[in-house]
Amino acid sequence: MKICIGMSGGVDSSVAAYLLKKEGYEVIALFMRNWDSALNNDILGNPNINNNICPQEQDYNDALKVCKQLDIPLFRVDFIKEYWDNVFSYFLNELKLGRTPNPDLMCNKYIKFDLFKKEAKKLGCDMIATGHYARNINNHLFKGIDQNKDQSYFLAQISKKQLENVLFPVGSLTKEEVRNIAKNLNLETALKKDSTGICFIGERNYQNFIQNYLKPNPGNIIDIETRKVIGKHKGLMNYTIGQRRNVGISGYDKRHYVVGKNSIKNELYVAFGDDSKYLFSDECIIDNINFISEKRPEKCSAKFRYRGEDYPVTLKYINDNEIKVSYNNVKAVTPGQACVLYDDQECLGSGIIKEVKKNNKKVWYIN
């Protein structure tokens, strides 16, 4: 079997490539370049703007060195326009609505498990593989063994069809085991730090970065208890529900949290105290429903953000594209984020949080 590994220039895909070759596959690697800072006007908030080499090219060089070590051919493809059209435009449109999008899910749906898969087929491959910490068991998606690194959350918008002929070689390993394999092989990426920030873009000063694409629209910060103006925000797109740092107010004894937005009045609502009632909700409506599993349970568990807890939930199927998710007093459930559904270790699918309610009333968020 000929298999194409998505080679990112990181340690996970490097070890995944080694494991595939060790198992006897004919392995080729494909590096995707999905972001061009110059072409995409990525200037403000970009810490790498004056570097001699951009991070994407450094990643490619690292991938090239690993492939030479493993004797694997490396190919390269640009999906810059496709990433902008399908992922980054979605990201910006959601921000304009005052929501908090997760572009990683759309990147997997439209780039890694669609365009990448098609490119691998052009190269004569029967299967693809990635360095995700997840498991594919009979075309059902399961959490990775390493619960601290599990990335099934980010895969929850791909279809069951997209999961066919896909391997996750490091999904049954811990991160420590992956690092040790890379060290023992003396791979170029063995000690390389994990990539962080926006998918394929990287670390940015978020508020400055967004100004490259969306004009700031300052407005009032409101104490939700007193309804008094206590500060000025820099544009609603810069804030998310539950945010505590970089809100723009100071001089208060109690810690403060963002608890809501009003896009019509351009107001940001803040509450004080770690256990403010305004931080909690008991149900949400999710849309953009995507099921990977055939299961349609009435009760299961859900994650409302990556690395968040698994909460027991009850599902009411409103129609083919909306589900009411009920739960008991969960903190900072946020419109625009993914609600990912699980049956123990199996990822059933996901939806995007459309609105949040408490006591059957829409709360904190108006657009």
Element (H, E) at 361: strand 361-362
199 catalytic per annotation = yes
- DSSP letter string over 98-130? T----HHHHHIIIIIIIIHHHHHHHTT-SEEE-
In the structure encoding, which two tokens stand for residue 158, read together? Answer: 């791909």
CB 355 within 8 A of CB 367: no
Q: CA-to-CA distance for 33 and 36, rounded, in angstroms?
A: 8
CB 352 within 8 A of CB 280: no
Identity of the residue numbered 24: G
Q: CA-to-CA distance for 152 and 79, rounded, in angstroms?
A: 23
Pick the catalytic residue from 107, 300, 339, 347: 107
Nearest one of 74, 87, 73, 75 to 35, comparing CA atoms? 87
CA atoms within 13 A on the CB side of 298: 0
Pick the catalytic residue from 67, 199, 284, 347: 199
107 catalytic per annotation = yes
236 DSSP 8-state letter = G
CB 252 within 8 A of CB 347: no
154 DSSP 8-state letter = G
SS3 135: strand
Q: Which residues are catalytic?
A: 107, 199
